[in-house]
A and B are shown apart, each in its own frame.
Chain A
């Protein structure tokens, strides 16, 4: 079925883009996320840090809908999306990337981007059966858009290569570009710099800053604290499934319990 737009809803221009209220996620007896509440402001990059096993990725999965919340409420642009499946959250403009590379390996780089494009007449059984003439204009428009993104991210030369053959950093870029093809309002990035060459990290950093300048809201899980400090306007800290602090990196460094829990070294 086609990814039909579901985002033509009144813009709540004021207030946070994303609100998580008392989110719990249990796996049998284990509380991976234990009552986390946070607000992600519009047009900013918000960081989510914490030691391994703190529940950051689980929290991101709950927000994106990949995992259902055991308890709690998620508001996206004022709308309760707690019970919505992942694909419907994505259609509303909540896009995510994954901790591990999740490229479509046997599709080309360009195809990876085109898959994400909404509003495509050919992306339905009916559209497919109608034939190329029915959807070719959409395809041309979206190919132009995807090529624009590839150019912006310096990957034009790779558009016809299989995504599975790209390096780790390039796969990260593909994921980010793919999410951008969705025209998201909020982007959830799960360790976008993990396993990436320092030069590509600089690139990704630059692109994220430019996306923020474009007004995109970003919630980012990251372990590289110097990058978090440079990129994020505000940071939340998780440990053992709970939120233990928030603020700027500078203010967090002054809080003893947070330093003890995570920031030592």
Chain B
């Protein structure tokens, strides 16, 4: 039992370290107050999901609607998730970072976040709306039994590799003359500009890098990929497994629920999903409290 708690903590610590490093590059080093960070995380999660899932017309997936569905092998969905965050950062950054003063940038980014939340929750044909995406394949699920300890260890290893890479990248940036320039911009943007530094280019670069790392964070997060699924495996997915039997990984998730029972209450099925189907994947973009979301979902049934 303790193994699962420890694994859970390690994986969450790992993915959260990635988010912290991304935020540190943006806010701590560059002084960008990015209230839309969650949007980039969501972009990573959704992009990784649609890259790894089959088309929504496929058998067992027809209860939901989404764009894409490419069934790409691991690690392409993670890389694609990070790229999605980076690409999304370009238009957002061009709109917000060029003309606005830093306090207005913060306001605009907050509004961007709210707009993205509204669009994602209401444009159902895009990414299945407020219900989110379900049945997202886990990394390497065809190679390793996802309900075993070995899969947990593998996931810890993958997380550690990602953390190591991101740490290395962040350290190189922060400890370089470029990092010094970023800190100077954070301290006094006008003075840095008067010394020949282009603040828009500096901010855009860090916005894109931070967006990519934020996206990687949530693409990696177990909320959307790994063991969360093991206790709700769909029937027939892996012969010999009883879909109703809680797995070790499911208990792991239960351990997490102990800390936050509202967030991890038993899954509410998607309105169009058959009873007993997997819980929808949702990147927690919604500002609606989990309890109210659950009530809404129940009212659809």
Q: Show the binding face of A for B, using Cβ within 8 Å.
A: 1-3, 64, 66, 85-88, 90-91, 95-96, 98, 102-107, 111-112, 114-116, 118, 120, 122-125, 127-129, 131-132, 135, 138-139, 175, 178-179, 182
Contact = CB atoms under 8 A, between A and B. Distances in A.
Contact of A1 (B179, B184, B198): B198
Contact of B209 (A66, A86, A115, A125): A125
Contacts of A131: 172
B181 interface: yes
A1 B205 CA distance: 8
A64 B197 contact: no
Interface string B143-174: 00000000000000000000000000100110
Interface of B: 169, 172-173, 175-181, 183-184, 187-188, 190-199, 201-202, 205, 209
Given A86-B194, A115-B181, A116-B195, 13 more contacts: A1-B201, A3-B196, A86-B193, A90-B196, A98-B191, A102-B188, A102-B190, A104-B183, A104-B192, A107-B187, A115-B184, A115-B192, A123-B180
A87 B199 CA distance: 9
B183 A125 contact: no
A63 to B, nearest CB: 11
A210 B209 CA distance: 44
Given A3-B196, A87-B196, A127 B191 contact: no
Contacts of B178: 2, 122-125, 127-128
5 contacts: A104-B183, A107-B187, A115-B181, A123-B178, A125-B205
Given A1-B205, A105-B187, A129-B172, A111 B180 contact: yes
B177 A127 contact: yes
A102 B180 contact: no
A180 to B, nearest CB: 11
A64 B190 CA distance: 11
A106 B187 contact: yes
B140 to A, nearest CB: 28
Contacts of B191: 98, 102-104, 175
Contact of B187 (A104, A124, A179): A104
Given A128-B172, A129-B172, A178 B195 contact: yes
A75 to B, nearest CB: 19
Nearest to B187: A104
Nearest to A118: B196
A135 B187 contact: no
A106 B183 contact: yes
B179 A128 contact: yes
Contacts of B181: 3, 115, 123
Nearest to B169: A129
Contacts of B190: 66, 98, 102
